[in-house]
Structures are given as C-alpha cells and as structure tokens.
Chain A
Amino acid sequence: MIPEVGQFSLILALCLSVILASLPIIGAQKNNYLWMSLARPLAAGVFVFLGVSIAILAYAFVTDDFSVQFVALHSNSLLPDRYKLTAVWGGHEGSFLLWTFMLSGWMLAVAIFSKSMPLEFVARVLGVLGFLITGYILFMLATSNPFDRIVPLPPADGADLNSALQDFGFIIHPPTLYMGYVGFSVVFAFAMAALLSGKMDAAWARWCRPWANTAWGILTLGIALGSWWAYYELGWGGWWAWDPVENPPLITWLFGTALIHSLAATEKRGVFKSWTVLLSILAFAGSLLGTFITRSGLLTSVHAFAADPDRGFFILAILGVTVGGSLLLFALRAPLMKSEFGFDLVSREILLLANNVILVVAAASVFLGTLFPMVYQALTSNLISIGPPYFNAIFVPLMGLLSVLLAIGPYCRWKRTSPSFLVQQLGKVALAAIALGVVLPLIVTLQISIAATLAVALGAWIILAMLKDVRSKTANKATRVQGLKSLSYSYYGMQLAHLGLAVMLIGVSLTSTFSTERSVLLSPGQSVDLGSYGFQFEGTTSVNGPNYVGEEASFTVTQNGEQITTLHPQRRIYLATGTPSTEMAIDAGFLRDLFITLGEQKEGQSWSMTIYVKPFVRWIWLGAIFMTLGSILAAADKRYRRLRRRQTDSVKSAAGEKTVGGELLPSG
C-alpha cells in the first residue's frame, strides 16, 4: 500500500507542475498578478510531493519491500543499511527520481532566494522549471516507474546492488553530480525567462551569476568525486578514461565554465548577451545529453543502465522539445538583444572571449569524439571506438593555451589595456615561471620531461601572476591585512578557482608522466621494488563482511629500506550474486599515492597483483576542491545580496548605478 502512496504523490507532483508550467508563464505574458504569484507556492508543492515520493522509495528499500520491482532488482536483505538507503539511485528509475527531486530542490531555492527579482521574472523562471519537471515526471510514469510492483508473487529476496556500487563513492558521487547537472537547468530557466520577456540587462546577469557559479562549483565537485571513486574502486589506477559517459559532464562543465566567464562580461560591460544565452542553452543541453547517453543503452560503459529503447526515444523527445524549442526562441529573440560593443583588441573582454572560444572548441571536440562512433554506426553499421589519444591530442594543447591566457586575464582592464603594461607587469613572472618549470620537476623526480616542465611552468605562471596581483591590489592600504580585507569575495573566488586549475594541471601532468606500475606474481615472503619503494608480500588471511567473503593480503611497504606503511588489499566475493570484486589498498600522500590491487590466486599461495606508484595524483582532486570553494566564495559575494537595497536606491536617486543594456523590446 505504501509504495502506491509514493506513486500517487508522484502524480500529484505532476499535476502541480503542469499548472506551474502554464499559469505563471501565461500570467507573466498577460500581466496577471494572481497567476504569477501562484508560481512560488506551486514550486514548493512540487518539491514536497516529489520529496514524499522519494522518501517512500527509500522506505521501501530500508524495509526490504521486494514486491517493488525496483527494490527487488537493486537491493538484498543482506545489504548494509547505508547502501539500502542509497540504492535508491542504484538503478535507472530511482536515480531519475532523484534527478527530478533535485531539480525541484533547486526550484524551491529559486522560489525562496528570489525576493530581489521582479515577480514577473520569477514566475517565468519557475514556470520553465515546472515545464522541465513535467516532462521528467511524465517520462518516469510512462517508461520507468520506480514503484512498479511484482505481482502476484514477489521474490523472497532481492537481486542485490551491483557490487561495484557498494562503496562510499556511490553514496556521494551520483547526488553531487546530479546536483551540479540540474543546477544548469536553473541558469537555462533564467535565460528562457529573459528570452520570453525580451528583457536582458545587467541586472539579469547579476541575478544569474550566483546560480551559475554554484551549479558550476557543485558540478566540478561531482565530476572530481567520480574521478576519485573510479581511481580507487575500479582498480586500474586511472582517474579519467574519456569514457563516453564521463564526457557529457565534461562537455557540460566546459560550456558551464565558458558561461560563468561570459556572464561576467555581460554583467560588467553589457557585452556578449546573446552568446551568454546560447551558452546557457548549451550547458543545459549537455546535461540532458548525459542523461540520454546513460539511460538509452546506446553505449557500453560502466555507467550504462540496462538498455530500453523506449526510454531512449522519450529522452530524445524531451531533449528535442526543450533544446529545439529554446534554440528556436533564441533564434527569434536574440537579434533583439543589443550588446554594447566598445572594447579594444587588448582588453579583458577579448581575453574572456578567447577563454570562451577555447572552451567551446574543447567542448565541441569532446562532443564529436563521443558521438562520432554512434553516428558512424548508424551510417555504416560498422562499430568503432575513439581512443583516448584523440581526446588528449585535442584537449591538452587547448588547456595549455587556456592556462597561458588565464594568468593575463585578471591583469587586463575592461575596454582597454596597453600591451606594454602587461609586459611590464608579467615579464618577470613569465621568466620565473619558466625557470621553475625547468628546475622543480628535476629536483623532485630527478627526471627530465617536456610535459612536466611545461605543466609546472604553466602552473607556476598562473600562481605567481596571482600572488603578484594580490600583492599589488593590497599595496595601497595602510596594512596588508586591511588590504586583504578590502578585496571582494568574488575576487578571492576567482583567484581560488584559478589556483585550482593550476594545481590540477600540475597534478594531471606529473601523474601522467611519472606514474609507474608493475604486474607481478608473488608468493608469501617475496618482494618487489618499484622506484625507491619496496613491497613485501606477507601472505593472506580470509575475511568475512556482512554480505561478502574474501581474502585479504598483507604487504609491508618500505622506502629506501625503511618501513613506511602496511597495505591490505582484498579480493571479495559478494554472496547474493557471486560477483568477484577487488578492493585495492592505497597509501595516499600529498606527493604520491602507492597502491596495490590483488588479482587472483595461482599455484600454491602465490597471487597475481598490480602495484602502482602515482606521484601528485591527489593534486587533481585538490584542484577541483579549490575550484568548488572558489565558486562558492564568488556566489557568496556581498553585492548579490546588497542588490535589493541598491535597486531601491537607484530608483530614488537619478544618479543611480548606470545600467548597461536595458530594454530590448518595446514594452508591452
């Protein structure tokens, strides 16, 4: 009975979201106050009913209600409680419910934190979000209902959660990624509201920026968590595989990164308006593309859900309607958006433009490499795959170029900067960065590598330029501390995110260049050396978990003959399915990771295993954490919250803040 309440709640959420998608938007067109003011309560209602729905699904998991098909397929009575609860997103149906619920959460946040925006605008934004949620719930009810029952004979026990998912990473990666993904729907809704009203001014960009920054930061974290999880769980020491399902989040991230930079120019200078709107649409389309690829069963991947063509067509239809419709609206309205155009060839605008071109080219080439095999197969019925070398060949030079420009950007002024000023400011920084690039990798690793030199030089270039900028910006104050306090949150946010990129760049490059691995067969007592590290295999003991049995190996790790740690990788068999699974052992460090994966037992007591030394691999995720913190700092900047007061001020005094852009359409 209780699962039916969940389904009923889902239907109620659908009804409310249908009203939300229609009345407030019509109200905004007709200037009907009552209809517009329905938007906020309706958004809250949709959130509540979707919340009830997902809570009931979670309850079905925790109480082992295997009469619910989704529970029977993704849980088992032996499963630990934390995985029962999170198995809600362990399959297609439940994870889509989570996705929709999160969108309603974002929508509720917009309803609450939009007091400074005109009601007409809020009504349109919430209406567009309601439209998306309507599509998503229809999709669930039509093709993938998580509350479907197995009647009349429910199984005695469930089929179990995929053993690869029974891990901490599974608890946090999917929700964080979804949270970031659907956050771009909010930015998309802002863009649609601007197109619908035909009004797009500096205030629009200012409303939009905190949301875009937050969504971007969470998406960054979500991708990084996925990378970290794959690294320690999948057992081949990789942190990025250019897997067709990893790529759509990256495409979304690249468009999103372009978007937050283009928004800066739109807010401050009133330029790139239609481009900003287009990027909002593209970032949103990227997120839907990710859904389509994982849920249509088109591609082979660790992420792919079970294939069902109906679902694929339905998502394709949602994709077509929303993206096609928004592009049509864009084509109709964009010509009316007049951008200012007053800047020189060396100016912050141009650097932001260059940033956008590079990021969009990168996104487009990743998109091409991801979809090319599918298109090729449809045209020729030959199966192909595109290897990582393609992506690396395109992506690495583009990111290098981006890093070169990134350090210059903050030094450029709006409108015009003299090149000689840049040379004077950054000349010495460039020389120092090159020197560090040559010397540092040599000292740390005693090896010479062009890739490492370039990466460290670029990282140093970004970091040194940043330090110099902070120093010169605080130099005029009485004390350094006062100077540091006078800088805005958004300035710190920008610098922190840029620092994150530098750290990530160094991490990616050094770990790709200097990682070593060895696959060996060892008997107890034998040892193997890798660089300055020695790994001694001590033997195995059997272990019993709540829902698995296995063997645990012991290793003593030495560096230059001195013991530094012990490692205990496992090999498990999950009882419900008989699935084998390796649990690697990692000794994580700021400068290097050591890790061991266990293969299988051979003759006697000997085991096959792979041992890895991965320098600087942690820097990749550290960089992502910096980016996320930076985006949150930027979103928390005071001026977004001061806005309301400032707006009323500007009405009172004729000498209010100069607004750039303004009305695009004749009013009415």
Chain B
Amino acid sequence: MKPHRRKKLGIILFIAAGMSVAVGFTAFALKQNINMFYTPTQVAEGEVGQGQHFRIGGMVKTGTVEGAQDSLKVAFVTTDFVSDVPIQYEGILPDLFREGQGIVAEGEMDAAGVFQASRVLAKHDENFMSPEVKAALDASGASAENHNSMATNQ
C-alpha cells in the first residue's frame, strides 16, 4: 500500500470511528429524551406508566377553567369528548389559551389522577389546530370540523 493511501485509509477509519461513537451517543440521548403523546382517553384507560413524563393534548372543556385569585395556580379539564383529564398548572398561560381551544400540556400524572403540567402550549394561529390535538379528536371520533360546535354545546 502506498504511503499516501495508507494515510488516507487512516483518516477514513478515524472519521468512521468518530462517526460511530457520535451515532451511539446520539441514539442514547434520543432514547432518553422521547416524550410520548397521549390522548385523554388513553390516559383514562391507564396506558400511561406511573411517574412517566409525557404530553397530553385535547380541547379545554368549556366552563372548567378556574384560576386562583391569590396565586398563579390554574386548573382546567382537557377533553377529547370521550374522556376528561383534569390539569393543574402554576404560571402564566399562553396568550391563545382559552376555553374550547386545543392545547398541549407537558408533565406528569399525580397520585390523585390530576395531570400536573410543567408547560402548556396553545397554537398561535387560531385557524390551525395542532396535529396532535387533531389526532386526539380523530381517535375519539369527534372530527376537527365540528369541534367548535361540540365545545360550545357541552
């Protein structure tokens, strides 16, 4: 093997080794940081493991938002029109959070069956529904088209 070929091979092997290590680390980091998404029905059916950090998505059920007057605590119920899950959050809700809107919350279930959210997301554009929320509604048989009327009827 010519010397410059050998050098070239060395470099290629070095890069390949570096890449493999990187891929290994990446796969590990990926596995550690996956947040599963569940619908209220899936949560109600007990698909979520104890202490698991996950996302939940659905509509904010009309008439359920209760903000404490002396603190930043807020409680509401999210629904896919089949099952409801109560959510508690402490902090300032996003601008577009309101009753009858789709939201996604991130957090954990507590022992009392209340979802303790560390983050609540609402869409910026109100004509657009989050694909996650849409999937949750589709799964429960409530189509995206009639969600508004259903939300106000309930």
A interface with B by C-beta (< 8 Å) = 162, 164, 235, 297-300, 302, 304, 306-307, 341-342, 345, 350, 353, 357, 361, 364-365, 368-369, 372, 382-387, 389-390, 393-394, 519-521, 577, 579-582, 597, 599-600, 602-603, 606, 608-610
Provide the main secondary structure of the chain B interface: mixed
Q: Which residue of B lies closest to A381 (CB)?
A: B135
User: Are A383 and B37 neighbours in the complex by a CB distance under 8 Å?
Assistant: yes
User: Are A383 and B132 neighbours in the complex by a CB distance under 8 Å?
Assistant: yes
The residues of A that contact B96 with a CB separation of less than 8 Å are 579-580
The residues of A that contact B11 with a CB separation of less than 8 Å are 350, 353
User: Are A394 and B26 neighbours in the complex by a CB distance under 8 Å?
Assistant: yes
Report the bound CA distance from A579 to B18 in whole Å.
Answer: 50
Contacts known (A307-B128, A581-B95); A369 close to B30, Cβ less than 8 A: yes
User: Are B127 and A384 neighbours in the complex by a CB distance under 8 Å?
Assistant: no
Output the least CB separation between B32 and chain A (Å).
7
- Can you list 14 A-B pairs, Cβ within 8 angstroms, ordered by A? A162-B125, A235-B95, A298-B131, A302-B124, A304-B125, A345-B7, A353-B15, A361-B18, A369-B30, A384-B37, A389-B29, A519-B90, A602-B67, A610-B91
User: Are B131 and A365 neighbours in the complex by a CB distance under 8 Å?
Assistant: no
User: Are B126 and A579 neighbours in the complex by a CB distance under 8 Å?
Assistant: yes
User: Are B30 and A608 neighbours in the complex by a CB distance under 8 Å?
Assistant: no
The residues of A that contact B111 with a CB separation of less than 8 Å are none
Output the least CB separation between A93 and chain B (Å).
15
User: Are A521 and B95 neighbours in the complex by a CB distance under 8 Å?
Assistant: no
User: Are A384 and B36 neighbours in the complex by a CB distance under 8 Å?
Assistant: yes
Contacts known (A342-B4, A384-B34, A580-B95); A365 close to B126, Cβ less than 8 A: no
Q: Which residue of B lies closest to A299 (CB)?
A: B131
User: Are B125 and A582 neighbours in the complex by a CB distance under 8 Å?
Assistant: no
Which positions 113-130 of chain B face chain A at CB distance < 8 Å? Answer: 121, 123-128, 130
Q: Which residue of B lies closest to A382 (CB)?
A: B36
Report the bound CA distance from A365 to B27 in whole Å.
Answer: 9
User: Are A390 and B126 neighbours in the complex by a CB distance under 8 Å?
Assistant: no
Report the bound CA distance from A282 to B104 in whole Å.
Answer: 34
The residues of A that contact B70 with a CB separation of less than 8 Å are 521, 602-603
User: Are A385 and B95 neighbours in the complex by a CB distance under 8 Å?
Assistant: no
The residues of B that contact A385 with a CB separation of less than 8 Å are 34-35, 37, 55
B72 interfacial by beta-carbon distance below 8 Å? yes
Output the least CB separation between B21 and chain A (Å).
9
Q: Which residue of A lies closest to B30 (CB)?
A: A390
Q: Which of B19, B124, B132 contacts A164 (CB 8 A)?
A: B124
Q: Which residue of B lies closest to A73 (CB)?
A: B127
User: Are A341 and B8 neighbours in the complex by a CB distance under 8 Å?
Assistant: yes
Q: Which of B4, B34, B124 contacts A162 (CB 8 A)?
A: B124
The residues of A that contact B44 with a CB separation of less than 8 Å are none
B50 interfacial by beta-carbon distance below 8 Å? no
B146 interfacial by beta-carbon distance below 8 Å? no
User: Are B125 and A602 neighbours in the complex by a CB distance under 8 Å?
Assistant: no
Q: Which residue of A lies closest to B104 (CB)?
A: A300
Output the least CB separation between B108 and chain A (Å).
14
Q: Which residue of A lies closest to B15 (CB)?
A: A357
User: Are B35 and A384 neighbours in the complex by a CB distance under 8 Å?
Assistant: yes
Report the bound CA distance from A364 to B124 in whole Å.
Answer: 29
User: Are A365 and B22 neighbours in the complex by a CB distance under 8 Å?
Assistant: yes
Q: Which of B18, B72, B123 contacts A599 (CB 8 A)?
A: B72
Q: Which residue of A lies closest to B38 (CB)?
A: A383
The residues of B that contact A357 with a CB separation of less than 8 Å are 15, 18-19
Output the least CB separation between A532 and chain B (Å).
24
User: Are A372 and B131 neighbours in the complex by a CB distance under 8 Å?
Assistant: no
Contacts known (A353-B11, A602-B67); A387 close to B33, Cβ less than 8 A: yes
The residues of A that contact B149 with a CB separation of less than 8 Å are none
Output the least CB separation between B36 and chain A (Å).
5
Contacts known (A164-B124, A383-B132, A608-B72); A519 close to B91, Cβ less than 8 A: yes
B92 interfacial by beta-carbon distance below 8 Å? yes
B71 interfacial by beta-carbon distance below 8 Å? yes
Report the bound CA distance from A105 to B67 in whole Å.
Answer: 53
The residues of A that contact B104 with a CB separation of less than 8 Å are 300
Output the least CB separation between A44 and chain B (Å).
38
Known: A164-B124, A300-B121, A300-B130. 6 other contacts (CB 8 A): A300-B131, A350-B11, A361-B18, A368-B30, A384-B34, A600-B67
